[in-house]
Amino acid sequence: MRIVLVGAVEGSRVALAALVSSERPPVLVITLPPTAADRHSDFADLSSMGRKSGISFFHTTNVNSAETLAKIASIGPDVILVVGWSQICGRPLRELASIGTIGFHPAALPRLRGRGVIPWTILRAEQTTGSTLFWLDDGVDSGPILLQRVFDVADNETARSLYEKHLLNIREMVPQAVRMVESGNAPRIPQDDEKASYCARRRPEDGLIDWRLPAADILRFIRAVGDPYPGAFTHSGSERIYIDAADLFPNPDRYIGLPGQIQTVSATGFLVMCGDGNCVDVSAWRPETSRLRMHSHLRPGSSLEAWPK
């Protein structure tokens, strides 16, 4: 079976490795050039792996361009597998595959279609989620389901830990799905659109921390938008500070202050007051050389910027 893989992120690299390990390597990989790496915070250069396996590569920033379509058409693929590509795959692309085009989505479709799904899963305090391989159609993550794994979301889930769970599923599910297609037994289970929900795109600037929120919400926010994504940030004066790890301070009556005010500073971290009177204990931040002072205020923007109305 002739497979074309489309992707440019860590999940794409895992899918490629899984196909090679299962002795079903793609005949062509469509990916971003390294010069476009800033399109994805989790960008992965697939070229080195492909060169070792003798796989052909085609770099593009537009999977629907005439040049890309011509390259794929020259292969005559049975299946196009899309894992980690942000553009919608148009019908002319999908129809180049004689059997069909399969996409991966990090949610239990039909719920949480769209963008920024891993952060939204944590921000919404979802109890379960899933990894889904599905047949692409004209809609957004709306095509029939081929294979899906549903699993629990941990109470302390981070973007990275959830991402790794999806990577494990990609590693196992992609070869399984290919075998199902080869055998002619690959399902096409229609999604129930009445149960669908849609996630909006998230941008790096959406990582701004609002210290007026309860501490539990702020901690969830920090876990949701961190690695492999740009991260949660605040400002000390004009300096942007990224907060990578924090915990709830166990004694809510110890400190009295204003939301965003630093209560203590030590060699290992600092405490910040939140909107509900609890503090978060920050233990990892960037840059580590930031000059943080007790009782100073962390703000939405520069030191001259007021809290938004």
What is the architecture of the domain spanning 3-199? 3-Layer(aba) Sandwich (3.40)
Collapsing DSSP to helix, strand or coil, 81 comes out as: strand
- 165-184 pLDDT, tens digit each: 999 999 999 999 999 999 99
Backbone region of residue 114 per phi and psi (left: phi > 0; alpha: psi in -120 to 50; beta: other values): left
CA trace torsion 111, 115, 117, 119 (10° rounding): -140
% of residues, the chain, pLDDT over 90: 87
Q: CATH 3.40.50.170 in the chain, residues? A: 3-199
Collapsing DSSP to helix, strand or coil, 169 comes out as: helix
| Nearest of 157, 201, 241, 300 to residue 232 by alpha carbon | 241
Output DSSP code: residue 297: B
Q: Of 35-49, 68-82, 102-116, 256-270, where does mean pLDDT reach its minimum?
A: 35-49
CA trace torsion 260, 261, 266, 270 (10° rounding): -20
- 223-279 pLDDT, tens digit each: 999 999 999 999 998 899 999 999 999 999 999 999 999 999 998 999 999 999 999
Binning pLDDT at 50, 70 and 90, where does residue 52 land? low
Query: In residues, how long is the chain?
Result: 309
Q: CATH 3.10.25.10 in the chain, residues? A: 205-299
Q: pTM for the whole thing?
A: 0.92
Q: Can you name the CATH fold of 205-299?
A: Methionyl-tRNA Fmet Formyltransferase; Chain A, domain 2 (3.10.25)
Collapsing DSSP to helix, strand or coil, 43 comes out as: strand
Pairwise CA distance, residues 10 & 15, whole Å: 9
Binning pLDDT at 50, 70 and 90, where does residue 47 land? confident
- 284-299 pLDDT, tens digit each: 999 988 889 999 999 8
